[in-house]
Structure 1
């Protein structure tokens, strides 16, 4: 299965290769063609050598499959970046590849406006594949493994009424089709406001994947005068909603979207964040082109969803806004979307658990069941969610301390650990802030952040279990 995935990703390299060849950039085109042939050979050979029936996927197999697939795809994706002649070392190439596939959006590449068009397209393709990949992973494997409370979103249960389609494969196909249609609609919307086809395509794929790779050094700030920031805000919000509920809505139950607790919670957070930042910008007069509301809405939604686009250097809006954007990194969107970070439903369950705890202090003998989205949350799921919080923030604290020990300043260390673990993209400060890149960092710092991006996208616990010695015994 990993071999097939690698072969498919390698086949996708043909598109940037053809684009560079058409533009007359022979070195970059050759890099993509060579990488494509090598990847398809290795991936295809691996698949053929290990072909055979798969009766079932056990939890151990699921761990190996998810972690192994994302790692193998990252290595494959880094190869053309290293060979492209753009001056990227293996460290930088792997950092960029992992950032793309995990839809983080942190970059070490500068001068994007002058880079080969195939390179820009490849970065967007990586994020687009990573976006749909994480939806399928979250739908197919995380509920089975019970990681971080994801068992709440089990699609295939014993109760047939809970199945929105007869087979999980049909659900995945429907979600993929919706993902593709939304990407195309976003692409044509960008074209309609004046973007050229390549920039429209790259930004559409980055938007729907909530990835944040841009085709310009100025990110989305280059297109504010076109109104592209408004389009991006709308589609970032859509990409942050559970794609399974889009399937339910299309099949005649549109109210299901609003009835979902995490959708309402997410929209409430976005509204409050936008309103608060708008008031702050009005008071300080820090807003630029586009107005306070547009800048507040775009940048807050971008960081909350982990997309990482920017229309302004919000680090210059003052200490209050910096603190707000730091908190935004740890929010995330809904489970079953392309977003990352902690996600809304975990905060909702933790809040419900806190209310139950306080109630039991007043009435120790009371039996108070926990409910979420009309279902009872058992103790195992609650412990899974609370365990995720502990592990997630423990990894964050350790990463921040290591970055600080490597010589990074405090703001960059704290925000760098946060933005990589939550797969947000830009951090805070003059180096890795919205107007900077990760290029000036040392190789050890880049490798640590790369590992952080990787485990953050795979819900942290999955990678830690995979690396545990007990996992490999017997």
Structure 2
């Protein structure tokens, strides 16, 4: 691994971050907001950081190695978080730790916030919060590859380190073309949803904020009470539609563009995901009607929206589900854990992994009954190798153990046990709202510093699926005679 190549790519990424910060700068300039200075400082720091890294770096001559791809991805996310938090801290809106928390929450698509009064923030900072969702949703590395495709074939290692969900042995053809195609779908969905939200009565900036948060399945809203601010079935229906389509594998839409809509109809994972949403909606509707005597139509409306919002890991809130029966809250907790489809902007364990784990357990049971049976796992029309199945099992173990670890830290720091479990699953699953003191209508501002720092790591590991971050924390990862 060459650290100078890592520096070079990180330098380009820092400069791209500086360019992205110019978008809210224009808004601050247009409205004459005090946040203008904060964004100017952030842009200057980003560009200078990029220039320094480029000066110390070296352009890759051929292609990136696996280590270089993993290092660039993990360090790139950390660097962009530290640069993206500058407007919050320099503007005096948040302390440094809270600024880091807010920025990584945005980039990871978690949507947990430490800001108690969002509506008091300038429009430019609210837009930046939403933009962090949008850049992190598809992936800052994927967008970087799509917009700046000047690197060699080794970018597949960066692409794979950031992509979510298990990958089969069948390699993606032409990573640069795939990144461009995914980015195109992402932009089209964002533009279309912005137009629809404006037709629902939102102003352009408010519609854009919600579009960025919805398509990235992030959940930052410009209102303190989130989607409950609108109290509109039409707005909730439009948001739910875009959250649903953003929960599917974006590669599926690229394939559908080339082969027709039959690809979408035939996607097993997406059909299973929709079934999970439907069953969860029906169960929570029945529970709300029977346990709390809700009107059936209102119960269906709220249960459907929260089922879509939580399963997609968006985290928009249309009703205070902290007041719902325990059974309904347990379903929401399960949806946080499972998440959406692999290759989408959602978080969680991913539906395809749950499918593979269930099929693997069933196959192992059959193998016990029939010892000579060959273990054969097939899903979504594709055969999965034993290596990939073992990889899914390993990831499930790591994901679960990390969830327990974050819960332990939060409880040690004084957080109630059920609240800690909810925050751990929510941040690892990039969902946002938790339960109890940090539930649907609350923020994370009251968390102790250690808990906030732990959840920052939880959000980062949840978005990058742990392994790239764990890899760079290992001393052996950096020990190589040709590192420098």
Instruction: Quickly name the TM-score band, shorter chain normalised.
Output: over 0.9
Q: Do 2:18 and 2:46's aligned partners in 1 also have CA atoms closer than 8 Å?
A: yes
Residue of structure 1 in register with 2:149 after alignment: none
Q: Aligned equivalents of 2:434 and 2:394: distance in 1?
A: 26
Deviation at 1:145, TM superposition (A): 6.5
Q: 1:168: how far off?
A: 2.1
CA contact under 8 A between 2:273 and 2:340: conserved in structure 1? yes
Of 219, 227, 241 in structure 2, the residue corresponding to residue 212 of structure 1 is: 219
Secondary structure in structure 1 of the residue aligned to 2:383: strand
- What's the offset of the Cα at 1:269? 0.7
Q: Does 1:57 align with 2:73?
A: no
Identify which range, 366-375 or 47-56, moves more after superposition: 47-56
| Equivalent residues of 1:6, 1:72 under 8 A apart | yes
- Measured after TM superposition, the shift of residue 379 of structure 1 is 1.5
Indicate whether 1:345 and 2:389 are aligned.
Answer: no
Alignment partner, residue 67 of structure 1: 74
Change (3 A) 1:334 1:140: farther
1 CA distance for matches of 2:23 and 2:107? 17
User: Structure 1 residues 149 and 197, CA, compared in 2 at 3 Å: closer, same or farther?
Assistant: closer
Matched, 1:13 2:21: yes
Task: Tell me the equivalent position of 1:447.
Answer: 453
C-alpha deviation, 1:381, in angstroms: 0.7
Equivalent of residue 39 in structure 2, options 19, 32, 44: 32
**TM-superposed deviation, 1:97:** 0.6
CA positional deviation for 1:43: 1.3
CA distance in 1, matches of 2:167, 2:232: 44
Counterpart-to-counterpart distance in 2, 1:293 and 1:385: 35
Query: Which one of the candidate residues 85, 92, 95 is aligned to 1:85?
Result: 92
Match of residue 186, structure 1, among 182, 187, 193: 193
Partner residue in 2 for 1:159: none
Q: Distance in 2 between matches of 1:111 and 1:346?
A: 38
Change in 2 beyond 3 A, CA 1:148/1:436 = closer
Q: Does 2:104 align with 1:104?
A: no
Tell me if structure 2 keeps the 8 A contact 1:219–1:310: yes
CA deviation map 1:132-177 (0-9, x unaligned): 2168399944885699972327543xxxxxx4xxx32112111111
Counterpart of 2:212 in 1: which secondary structure? helix
Partner of 1:121: 127
Distance of 1:48 and 1:381 partners within structure 2: 40
Tell me the TM-score normalised to structure 2 length: 0.91
Matches within 5 A, 1:299-448: 299-429=306-436, 431-448=437-454
For 1:134 and 1:52, locate their aligned partners in 2 and report how far apart those are by CA, in whole Å. 20
Deviation at 1:331, TM superposition (A): 0.9
Q: Per-residue displacement from partner, 1:261-297 (whole Å, max 9, x unpaired)?
A: 2111111111111111122222234658982222111
Q: CA RMSD in A?
A: 2.2
The CA distance in 2 between the partners of 1:141 and 1:433, in whole Å, is 38
Q: Kindly indicate whether the alpha-carbon contact (under 8 Å) linking 2:428 and 2:462 is maintained by their aligned counterparts in 1.
A: yes
> Tell me, which stretches of 5 or more residues in structure 1 are unaligned?
157-162
SS at match of 1:309: coil
Q: For 1:291, what is the secondary structure of its paired residue? A: helix
Contact 2:163 2:343 in 1 (8 A): no
Aligned to 1:152: 168
SS in 1 for 2:180: helix
Q: Distance in 2 between matches of 1:364 and 1:387?
A: 24
Counterpart of 2:313 in 1: which secondary structure?
Answer: coil
* TM-score normalised by length of structure 1: 0.93
Deviation at 1:462, TM superposition (A): 2.1
* 2:265 paired residue among 238, 258, 261: 258
Whole-angstrom CA distance in 2 between matches of 1:110 and 1:42: 32
Q: In structure 1, how many angstroms separate the alpha carbons of the residues matched to 2:137 and 2:171?
A: 19
Structure 2's unaligned 5+ residue stretches are: 1-8, 146-154
